[in-house]
Amino acid sequence: MTDETQDRQPSAAESPQPEAVPAAQAAPVKPAAKRPAKVADEEISRRGFFSWAAVAWVGFSAAMGGCMTAFGRFMYPNVLYEPPTSFKVGIPDDYPAGVVDDRFKESNGVWVINDEGRLYALIAICTHLGCPPAWLEAQNKFKCPCHGSGYYKSGINFEGPTPRPLERARIFVDPSDGQIVVDKAQKYQWELGQWTDPSSFITLA
Amino acid sequence: MDALKGFINFLAYPQWSFTLSLVGFAAIFWSKRLWSKTGGWLMLMAGTLFFGLSLLDPNFRKIVSKADNVPIVMMVFILGFFVWLSMNKAINNDRRLDSGEPTFEKSEVEDKVFTWPDLVFSEFICMVVLTVVLVVWSIALQAPLEEPANTSVAPNPSKAPWYFLGLQEMLVYFDPWMAGVVLPGLIVVGLMALPYLDTNPKGNGYYTFKERKAEILAFMFGFLVLWTELIVIGTFLRGPNWNFFGPYEFWDFNKIEPLVNVDLSELIWIKLFGYGLPGHWLPREIFGILLLGGYFFALPVLIAKRGIGKSWYEKMGPARYYIGISLMLTMMLLPLKMYCRWMFNLKYFVHIQEFFFNI
């Protein structure tokens, strides 16, 4: 302990001195540094310098602009491996009463369900943390494999941690060919009272 | 044998295994004999025996030998060893301190140790061993690769990387906003705040338990019970549909587990009062809000009034005490919520879906 403190004291006393020396010497050195710059000035005229600088800046900006454009373009993939949000799922007669149709879950992420005289499309994204739930036919419920949230056939949540029901997608019959169109871009949430919206279901005769 | 397996499966269910681990946690830090060399050997042998005998069961073997899960088995044993090692050193030091001797660290090392060879040589050995382990591991266990990702299909069960399984288990009991943002954020903030909250200078440079009991117990509870145990549960005991499965139970995709959950508001307004739910969220959730308000704002004041809480308050001062106790109570919210789920199927204390406020 005592050795360390003795070592430290002299070094602390010395430290101001090395700083003082260069400060005193710095003043005479300064004029010498200016000389080489003058030689360079004579080889290129003022006008010529500015025109070259302009060319350089334009070139630099164009290159940066090109890079940024390419970078921005990179954000939009050439091919999007996503199905369209709006698609046709056959005619209403394809859906027998009380059945949850699992055919479009893997390709388009929706279930089309005929329940109590209405046809509706549930979006297969768990409202807890966004995993895709699975339809369990034997237990008559949707069950999420990530945290165990469960939903009835209607999409209402009843078990697990999920705070709200599944969302429904816009569904309507295309008058030109009688096919059902599901539009996932338009969503209907139960807790906002949107499931009564006539475009969130098809009334079956 | 089947009866024994059935009993262990039953005990593994979270309400029982979590209770048992609370009792076990209290027991291992209560007894000093467990941290002796004999106690350590006994624990190691008991663990190895349990694991070895369990390997005879095909369901257990299948889960434990999954390429994803092998490191978790290693982790359990390694973690056990290091907890035992540090506690063994701490208990030995406590005995030395009681009899007035210098601590083990002080008697072993006079003043300082050299980087070379003391540190660098150990590091070199570690490097060689680790390289060998990683090479053998990468040859022996195939990487668990799956089919190309599809946003509308998830493996069942869908598991996070092992180090996030504690968080995933937490998400079973809480809203994602709470278990995914607030609580993990508070874990990080709380760990950063620890050096400022804990001003006890004891245990600096040596292992000790009796001089830092509250600090060690609080940390170990969060680390061993609320973090590691939840990782182990999430890894080995969560099966298809995120249902719970005992260690010897077959992972049946059609297992039916009734988990209908209700909110505190429904329990009080409908079950207790026999009345419908009020339309507006404030009267509907007022009991939950009062409960949580009391828990977070009245309870710290009450704890500071008497008993051990009073001594904490006097030792830490108001600012440190209130920050520390708030972090502590937030941590304890997890086991409390878990028990409420297991006992009353409680979904949320406060469930205001009008503006996504669910606790």
For B75-87, the pLDDT digits (tens) are: 999 999 999 999 9
Q: Which of A106, A138, A147 sits opposite B150 (nearest CB)?
A: A106
The answer for residues whose C-beta is within 8 angstroms of residue B346's C-beta and 6 or more apart is B261, B262, B263, B264, B267, B337, B340
**Does pLDDT of B186 surpass 50?**
yes
Mutate to test the interface with B, among A104, A105, A146, A164 (most CBs of B within 10 A): A146
> Whose CA is closest to B224, among B51, B19, B22?
B22
Summarize pLDDT for A45-98 with one digit per residue, the tens.
888 888 889 999 999 999 999 999 999 999 988 887 777 889 999 998 889 998
Q: What is the pLDDT of residue A36?
A: 53
Distance (Å) from the alpha carbon of B340 to chain A's nearest alpha carbon: 13
What pLDDT is recorded for position B44?
Answer: 94
pLDDT above 70 as % of chain B = 100
Closest CA to B65 of B163, B146, B140: B140
Domain ranges of chain A: 2-74, 86-203
Overall CATH class of domain A86-203: mainly beta
Q: Please tell me the predicted confidence (pLDDT) of residue B122.
A: 93
Which letter, b or e, does each residue of A106-134 get, where b requires 16 or more Cβ atoms within 10 Å of its Cβ?
eebbbbbbbbeeebbbbbbbbbbbebbbb
Q: Is the pLDDT of residue B132 over 90?
A: yes
Whether the upstream peptide bond of residue B144 has omega within 30° of 0, thus cis, is: no
Chain B contact for A160 (CB, 8 A cutoff) = yes
Are A124 and A109 within 8 A, CB to CB?
A: yes
Out of A106, A139, A147, the one facing B171 most closely (by C-beta) is A147
What's the ipTM?
A: 0.82
> B243: distance to nearest CA of chain A, Å?
7
Query: Does A146 contact B158 at a Cβ distance shorter than 8 Å?
Result: yes
Count of other CB atoms within 10 angstroms of residue B142: 8
Q: What is the pTM of this model?
A: 0.79
**A141 reaches B (C-beta below 8 A):** no
pLDDT in tens, A151-186: 999 999 998 889 899 999 999 999 999 999 999 999
DSSP B350: S
